[in-house]
Structure 1
Amino acid sequence: MSGDLIKVRITAPVKLGPRWLRPGDEPEVTADDRAQLEAAGAVERDPDATQVVLTGTPVRAFTQSEFETATAVTAQMLAEAMLDAALEEVTTQLRAEKAALLARAVEAEAQRDMLQDRVLELQDQLSAATAAAGQAVAADGQHPTTGGAAAPDQPDTPEPSETAAKTTPKKGAAAKPKG
């Protein structure tokens, strides 16, 4: 009986004997060849009835449309479950990141408050030092100087190092051409 030919529809590229068959081809094959093609998953199942077999015992014969409907429902349920799990994982990660950011914000606010207090302390110290310096000047009747030395008589007179720096050519500079 293995000599009877059966027409099948190829669903995946497969080599049968010496030739390659492409998806969509409909060759006539023997029952043995069909069994090999089915085992390889390269042919369409019988569209009229497919038997679901558990431990060798036929349970129920499904039509192709019933099988496709059941498969679609199962696929939908699996997709929803996977989506729910992925969303839960992302939500958990985002909540953890939010908690970490809130903790950093609290720390930053505490540091800001501490620095503001320090600024106020330094402003108070500066005000006290300025007031003390003003009182000392008023008591001495003199104006404070920057270096403790008397101010030069001619403030526009350049220091000797300034004149040398302006007139001395830089090291490695080319000489100016005459003319």
Structure 2
Amino acid sequence: MRVIAGTLKGRQLKAVPGNKTRPTTDKVKEAIFQIIGPFFDGGYCLDLFAGSGSLGIEALSRGMQHTVFVDKQSKAIHTIHENIRDLNLESNTEVFRTDATRAIHAASKRGLQFDLILLDPPYSKADYGELLNEIVKLNLIKQEGYIYCEHDQNEVLPKNPTHYTLVKHAAYGGTIGVSLYQKT
């Protein structure tokens, strides 16, 4: 696993030990960042269900100013801290061990708003419609901000949710589905 593009291009990332996380493939990362970027001029990113942190780190490498990483697994949190330390990204990141619902409510209380929110939960373990609605309700996504959802290809995600436009829906490798929304 590695960083695909930007200032950290080619740098290796550690994976979370065990089989509770599934890293996003390089092909999927490249395809999705070509749509939403491919590079950024600052901005804030929220990486929920962060796993190793590879998506949030990719966003930082491509120019995001700050990324908040959230995962509830201790092994994932440890791996995120290792990857951040190895890449000298401590000043551009925050890491929290908690579940997604608590994390988005805490971010709202802090008045945070994000340009990019990355949702890559364990397949079939999250209600994307509920998450998308809660993100809008809590005012966490900036106008024209993107929300990336990685899911099982057979999982049905909202096609026309209120306050969002579905920018892309694609399948990769026969099992991975990707849906990209933009706040309207």
Q: Same fold (TM over 0.5)?
A: no
Question: Which category describes the TM-score, using the shorter chain as reference length?
Answer: under 0.3
TM-score norm. by structure 1 comes to: 0.20
Structure with greater helix percent: 1
TM-score norm. by structure 2 comes to: 0.19
Structure showing greater radius of gyration is 1
Structure with greater strand percent: 2
